[in-house]
Amino acid sequence: MSETTRPSWLDNAVFYEIYPQSFKDSNGDGVGDFDGIISKLDYIKDLGCNAIWLNPCFKSPFGDAGYDVSDYYSAAPRYGTNEDLKRLFEESHKRGLHVLLDLVPGHTSVEHEWFKKSMSPEKNEFTDRYVWTDSVWEEPEGMGCIRGISDRDGSCAVNFFSHQPALNYGFYKPNRPWQQPTDAPGPIATREELKNIMRFWLSMGCDGFRVDMAGSLVKNDEDGKGTIALWQNIREFLDKEFPEAAMISEWGEPDKSLLGGFHMDFLLHFGPSHYNDLFRCAEPYFSERGRGDISEFVKKYLSLREKAGEKGLICIPSGNHDMDRLARSVGGESLKTAFAFLLSMPGAPFIYYGDEIGMRYVEGLDSVEGGYGRTGSRSPMQWDNTANAGFSAAPKEKLYIKQDDSKDRPTVESQAADKSSLYNEVKRLIALRSAHRALQSRGDIEFIYAEKSAYPLAYLRSAEGEKILVIINPSAQSADFSCALSPKEELYSLGGKISFNSGKITVPPQSAGFYLI
């Protein structure tokens, strides 16, 4: 990947993830929409974020919250029109914000016209658009399937839910007659149609894509070589036609995704990253209980960083629509220390809407649109103290998902007015990150203290001759460690004052400090 293909704005990107149906409703139907998002762009900019990840907003029956697309070329009517989405891009650009759309290339909805035509027993251009076996009695090994729903003989593989048929990008190692190689006409046609979709929205004004399940496209691809080659082919297309398009993968293996031409890869809440050790386990590291362990995360993170190479960036999100809310397992002042970490690490940070005010996971909800246990993390944004917390003018019972109805629920309005709030701490941290290259996406990192089951955490960020020591102690107990570094200037302080004394650094409970070295 050449230097020219990396959009420079990623160097200091701070993303805000918007779940469109839960962000802001402008027309009183209980569901968020594009106009609602546009009305809050100034809020996102004022927070300090300069980029947006917009969860799927294409036409869909919403069996999986929009990750079941029925038309890649049309905005979902519940959110607005293609023109409205184009206006969202334009209004974002006026404010210096970039917008990534959520691209779902691995599967569609069963309601997509491609799938309906692929079900025909007569050969047509969509016969090989999906992964079909030759017989209804044979199911694809290791995958679920749909069968017995049409006159076509065969079972169609699904990627996740039974209404999400898998698109056909071929098999790296075909071992059954119906498994097509990646260079067969069907897989090539699917790949080229993916380029057409990207071309359509990039021409409309979006700035790139976050790609769902990016590592899963080619089947029987144990080492990812076929999928890497597919994305390299797409990278060639982007370099030629849209060199400034940003590409971020949901893959979790930077050595593969970045080789495929992505600029960034997410740490996932599943797999071997130890991301859950930070915020989402029985004893998270960022907890006042002080029983967590960050050492395995650091070990794995450094391994992934080495594989990612100089130009590869690893993103650490505060959370997303698939995880428990950050505040479900990390509370109080620990949330501030968590954001001190998130906003001082390399790679672009991602803030899930509402995490900046400590929105809670709403317990005990029935599943909404395929959310199941994730539904409680998708409740409507809490803006102010008016009806429905300012999210919607609809009657309460018509809201897309039940809102947190606690009397002390956090809102933007109340937190903005409180100088000691999480919101103002996050805003302060983003501003500090933006002011120092060493704290930004491409700055280097050296862990100074990250011992097994121990506190605090300390690391040195550096770029262009600037060095910043970051020290964070989430626990309710004072902690110390040996370190010969001495500060020239304090840039940031949270909680009690950290003391430096003859090579020993003592860190008060639930505190953090950033220091020029």
> Looking only at Cα atoms, what is the longest distance across the chain?
81
Query: Cβ atoms within 10 A of the Cβ of 229, count?
Result: 16
Mean pLDDT of 167-182: 97
* Domain edge (last residue) among 409, 433, 457: 433
Residue 159 to residue 425: CA distance in whole angstroms: 40
Q: Are residues 63 and 154 in the same domain?
A: no
Q: Tell the residue number behind the tokens 């799938």, with chain if given.
A: 115
pLDDT tens digits, 34-90? 999 999 999 999 999 999 999 999 999 999 999 999 999 999 999 999 999 999 999
Percent of the chain with pLDDT over 70: 99
Mean pLDDT of the chain: 96
In a domain, 440, yes or no: no
Q: Which domain holds residue 134?
A: 107-168
Q: What is the pLDDT of residue 1?
A: 42
Q: Tell the residue number behind the tokens 């395929």, with chain if given.
A: 370
- φ/ψ of residue 61, rounded to 5: -80, -5
In a domain, 473, yes or no: yes
pLDDT tens digits, 428-474? 999 999 999 999 999 999 999 999 999 999 999 999 999 999 999 99
In a domain, 178, yes or no: no
Q: Are residues 316 and 265 in the same domain?
A: yes
Mean pLDDT of 209-223: 97
134 has pLDDT over 60 = yes
Mean pLDDT of 269-293: 95
In a domain, 175, yes or no: no
Q: Are residues 282 and 328 in the same domain?
A: yes
Q: Are residues 318 and 401 in the same domain?
A: yes
Residue 354 to residue 326: CA distance in whole angstroms: 10
196 has pLDDT over 60 = yes
Q: Are residues 207 and 323 in the same domain?
A: yes
* Domain edge (last residue) among 374, 408, 433: 433
Structural domain tally of the chain?
A: 3
Q: Are residues 333 and 424 in the same domain?
A: yes
In a domain, 177, yes or no: no
Task: Check which CATH number belongs to the domain holding 501 and give it.
Answer: 2.60.40.1180
Task: Check which CATH number belongs to the domain holding 143 and give it.
Answer: 3.90.400.10
Mean pLDDT of 491-495: 98
In a domain, 439, yes or no: no
Contact 165, 143 (CB under 8 A): no
2 has pLDDT over 60 = no
204 has pLDDT over 70 = yes
In a domain, 503, yes or no: yes
Q: Are residues 205 and 112 in the same domain?
A: no
Per-residue buried b or exposed e for 145-184, using 16+ beta carbons within 10 Å of the residue's own CB? bbbeebebebbbbbbbeebbbbbbbbbbeeeeebbbebee
Mean pLDDT of 102-112: 98
Q: Are residues 355 and 243 in the same domain?
A: yes
476 has pLDDT over 90 = yes
Q: What is the pLDDT of residue 269?
A: 87
Q: Are residues 163 and 193 in the same domain?
A: no
pLDDT tens digits, 324-378? 999 999 999 999 999 999 999 999 999 999 999 999 999 999 999 999 999 999 9
Q: Are residues 469 and 329 in the same domain?
A: no
Q: Are residues 162 and 234 in the same domain?
A: no
Q: Are residues 291 and 331 in the same domain?
A: yes
